[in-house]
């Protein structure tokens, strides 16, 4: 995706209900679509329908670690989101 397509995807994610599954998160991580992921977490759209709970930051970090390329930079992007959460990101 180019920059304009990622911005459009971010807007659509924030405005319309979507069904999130593991594939969407994995593809976004592999494609470096961190703006879309940020909107999903910020708008609380990271709901896991299978287990009836939200995907955690731990889950997202584990998917980034599976990526094998640019792991440190990708984790830094997530840490710079500054989203208020009750999760402990320093574990």
61 closest CA partner among 48, 70, 45, 74: 74
10 Å Cβ neighbour count for 52?
A: 7
SS (H, E, C) 33-56: CHHHHHHHHHCCCCEECCCCEECC
Question: Any idea where the domains of the chain sit in the sequence?
Answer: 3-79
User: pTM (2 decimals)?
Assistant: 0.74
pLDDT at 78: 86
Read off the pLDDT of residues 31-87 as tens digits, 9 standing for 90 and up: 888 888 888 888 777 766 666 777 888 888 888 888 777 888 888 888 888 777 666
């Amino acid at each position: 995706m180019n920059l304009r397509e990622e911005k459009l995807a971010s807007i659509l994610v924030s405005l319309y209900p979507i069904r999130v599954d593991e594939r969407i998160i994995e593809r976004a991580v592999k494609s470096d679509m961190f703006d879309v992921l940020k909107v999903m977490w910020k708008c609380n759209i990271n709901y896991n329908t299978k287990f009836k709970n939200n995907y955690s930051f731990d889950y997202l970090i584990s998917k980034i670690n599976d990526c094998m390329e640019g792991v440190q930079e990708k984790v830094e992007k997530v840490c710079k989101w500054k989203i208020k959460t009750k999760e402990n990101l320093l574990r």
